[in-house]
Structure 1
Amino acid sequence: MTALTQQPSAIPLDVFPDGLKTTGQHPPLYNELHPFDKFPREISGQTVWKAEDYRDAPERWTHRFTAEEIEELSTASDNFLHNKIPLTGISKSNFLLPNLAARLHELRADLIDGKGFILFKGFPVEQWGNHKSAVAYMGLGTYLGYFVSQNSRGHVLGHVKDLGEDSTKIDSVRIYRTNARQYFHCDDSDIVGLLCIARALEGGESDIVSSHHVYNVLAQERPDVLKTLTEPIWYFDRKGETSAGQDDYIRTSVVYLERGENARVYTKWDPYYVRSLTRFSDAGIIPPLSAAQVEALEVLEATCNRLSLHMILEVGDIQFLSNMHVLHARTAYTDYPPPMPRRHLMRLWLATPEHEGGWKLPFWDSNEKKRGGIQVDDQAPVAPLDAE
């Protein structure tokens, strides 16, 4: 029996106000990984969708907040601010949404086990300003999952914004802090949320794809590529965001199976974190990418591009995506010249532990409330209101 918990029993509340600590990045349980012949030949169900199913039917994947829903979010936010609770301590118990809660419960199920995406519209960010907007956004997120840290600084409220960092230094720079293209990937959480605070002058648009549809297409067209993606021969960079004693990289596969019966296919992928490891492969510490691996990552990206659904986030839009069976990308962008604000998205990474309906992942922390994310030693969670 594989142990699925290693968390310390006592978590200091003065450091982690909600009593929960992000578990962080870890290697998979290698004995829970399976050879290609154990994978399904075809995936079926709601998680398999085609762009043409939704491209001309935005009503199937968008929801405009009603006046009553905005009022409920506003009241809950005002009450939270009045009680002077740290933003890192926000939870369903101190952010009450008596009417929206049922709708969000349905949405959570659709994100985890259904199509895996939604676009909310009409969130009044310009009226509320960054602080109240952040409270309302994080409060909304607590009904979908537990927020986890997104970097070594403990940011549980992230900010996707160009900070002028060099996007070519992929071994140290996180691409979300640049204006470069983001290739199809998923984040280190079960659900990712993006709230648009300010748009770019041009670009910065979103593409998403069902990784289960991609799987089916590869199974038909390039089963050799799919087999390569299921093999635990891939190394993912930690980019220096490691706790004491941890390796700088993780050996894993790209495509997994859940644990247990009726196991679903789960994809965990980011090409930037695979291509950035030449400092170790050049030194002979890890093997370089093989020709088959290079071809696999190129075929995977091309297939995602071919099958993707395009969407544009306007100011006040919130996109929530599953990281278990949806891959997402972003086009490169150009900001408005000063004094206009730069493109700015507030980001949430949310965890859904298996005992609360989350997927049974082949990782030791699968049953932890704040599974995944990035946690360095005992770095406290912080929720800055802008990029830093």
Structure 2
Amino acid sequence: MDTKLLISRQGSVVPYTTIEGPDAWTASDFPVLEDHMLHLTPDHVAELDAAVDAVLSSGKRLQDIDFADFTLPTLSDPLLEAGQEAQFGRGWALVRGVPVWRYSRQQQLAAYWILGLHWGRAVPQNAKGHLIGHIKDIGHDPKNPLTRLYATNAAQPWHNDGPADLVSLLCLSDAEEGGDSGWSSSISVHNEILRRAPHLAAVLAGPWFFDRKTEVPEGKKPFFEIPVFNYHKGYLSVNYSDNYYHLSQRHAEVPKLTAEHHEAMRLFNELASGPELSLRMVLRAGDVQLLSNHTCLHYRGAFRDSPAHTRHLLRLWLSPPNDRPLPECYAEIMAGSVAPGKRGGIIIQGAAPNIPEEAE
């Protein structure tokens, strides 16, 4: 049987079949993005203000705050629904109207932590243990292959953030020019590859080697193996970041990328970035983006700051308690566990989890 002609859905996916469902979307499904946002009302904002005040007057460290420390009488349910949409629906959600422009830095961090609690447990994003990351150009060299590009103003190619089930951004301020945010359905990319070049789907479901850059947990090699297309217990989960595959070639133990690997990356990037499958917007102050790392890819355009306009976003990596099953190979990128709610993050010995007020 030629399974490429069959159709399946998440929860009962048959490998190498076209997947239908809300996470297999195209750009034409969302002609007006504003129609698909959670727009905070004045009542929502008043509740968030009160919750931020309660959190900051609690005497607790922000990372120790939980639902018992605040209430959002009418906002909690819409936030929970946004998380469900990202996990089990189309794979993404947008929130507009967090009043970051009148918040202090501590208030901004507290508000974002409150939102994130509705979507999962925050996990460390780097070797410094940051639970809330700062996405900002701090002068790191983007031409250095070991640089993590979020600390530069360079474009970030299409990828997902593998060490977390969900990734979120809160925009504090935008750039003078550029810095658009794009995302696409990795499930639709999978489907289109099956239609155009089914032999490459098999390549993408085979061995791929991923570099850890400078963030190597104790006892681990500086690289690991994880496929791009992961079929497991009825789900397709996609993990992709081509610059990490290229960087892994510096290790003598890693097999060389073949012509088929390069062909697969070329087609994957072409499809993910194309207007048919990708959505794009410039995140403005107070906008929140929430994406599934298993069903969405994302991208950041190059940007230019000025004294009046400096691009600065906050980021959360989140581990919900009820996300999909993942194969054991994900333990390499998920801090040693694939158990929902317990997996995720970059864990480096001696780096205590913390929430910095500024980029570092």
| TM exceeding 0.5 | yes
Distance 1:382 1:346 in 2: 14
User: How far off its partner does 1:38 sit?
Assistant: 5.6
Q: State the secondary structure of the residue aligned to 1:276.
A: helix
Superposed, which structure 2 residues align to 1:288-367 within 5 Å? 288-306=256-274, 307-336=277-306, 338=307, 340-353=308-321, 357-363=322-328, 365-367=337-339
User: How far off its partner does 1:368 sit?
Assistant: 4.7
Retained in 1: the 8 A contact 2:38–2:78? no
Stretches of structure 1 that go unaligned for 5 or more consecutive residues are: 1-36
**Corresponding residue for residue 244 of structure 2:** 273
Bigger drift between 360-369 and 103-112 goes to 360-369
Retained in 1: the 8 A contact 2:159–2:240? yes
Retained in 1: the 8 A contact 2:324–2:340? no
Superposed, which structure 2 residues align to 1:1-388 within 5 Å? 39-56=15-32, 58-59=34-35, 61-170=36-145, 172-187=146-161, 188-231=163-206, 233-259=207-233, 263-280=234-251, 284-306=252-274, 307-336=277-306, 338=307, 340-353=308-321, 357-363=322-328, 365-388=337-360
| 1:370–1:93 Cα change, 3 Å | farther
Counterpart AA for 1:298: R
Query: Alpha-carbon deviations, 1:74-119, whole Å to 9, x = none?
Result: 1111011101211111222323323222222222211101011122
Distance 1:255 1:194 in 2: 25
| 1:309–1:341 Cα change, 3 Å | closer
Retained in 2: the 8 A contact 1:55–1:309? no
| Equivalent residue pairs, number | 338
Retained in 2: the 8 A contact 1:197–1:346? yes
Q: State the secondary structure of the residue aligned to 1:207.
A: strand
Distance 1:105 1:75 in 2: 19
Counterpart AA for 2:278: S
User: How far off its partner does 1:224 sit?
Assistant: 1.6
User: How far off its partner does 1:131 sit?
Assistant: 1.1
Retained in 2: the 8 A contact 1:147–1:370? no
Retained in 1: the 8 A contact 2:122–2:319? yes
Distance 1:196 1:96 in 2: 23
Q: State the secondary structure of the residue aligned to 1:195.
A: strand
Distance 1:183 1:57 in 2: 22
| 1:111–1:325 Cα change, 3 Å | same
User: How far off its partner does 1:301 sit?
Assistant: 0.5
Distance 1:93 1:376 in 2: 30
| 1:224–1:241 Cα change, 3 Å | same
Query: Alpha-carbon deviations, 1:256-286, whole Å to 9, x = none?
Result: 0233xxx111001111211112321xxx321
- Percent of aligned pairs sharing the same letter: 35
**Corresponding residue for residue 26 of structure 1:** none
Structure with more contact order per residue of length (Cα contacts < 8 Å, sep ≥ 6): 1
User: How far off its partner does 1:378 sit?
Assistant: 4.5
Query: Alpha-carbon deviations, 1:316-367, whole Å to 9, x = none?
Result: 111111111011111111111x3x25210000111123xxx21001135222
Distance 1:102 1:319 in 2: 17
User: How far off its partner does 1:374 sit?
Assistant: 0.7
Q: State the secondary structure of the residue aligned to 1:372.
A: coil
User: How far off its partner does 1:294 sit?
Assistant: 1.2
Counterpart AA for 2:32: D
Retained in 2: the 8 A contact 1:164–1:178? yes
Distance 1:323 1:237 in 2: 18
**Corresponding residue for residue 10 of structure 2:** none
Distance 1:322 1:104 in 2: 15
Counterpart AA for 2:138: L
| 1:148–1:323 Cα change, 3 Å | same
Distance 2:286 2:33 in 1: 20
| 1:342–1:274 Cα change, 3 Å | same
Runs of 4+ aligned structure 1 residues displaced above 6 Å come to none
User: How far off its partner does 1:58 sit?
Assistant: 2.8
Q: State the secondary structure of the residue aligned to 1:43.
A: strand
Counterpart AA for 2:285: V
Counterpart AA for 2:325: K
Counterpart AA for 1:44: E
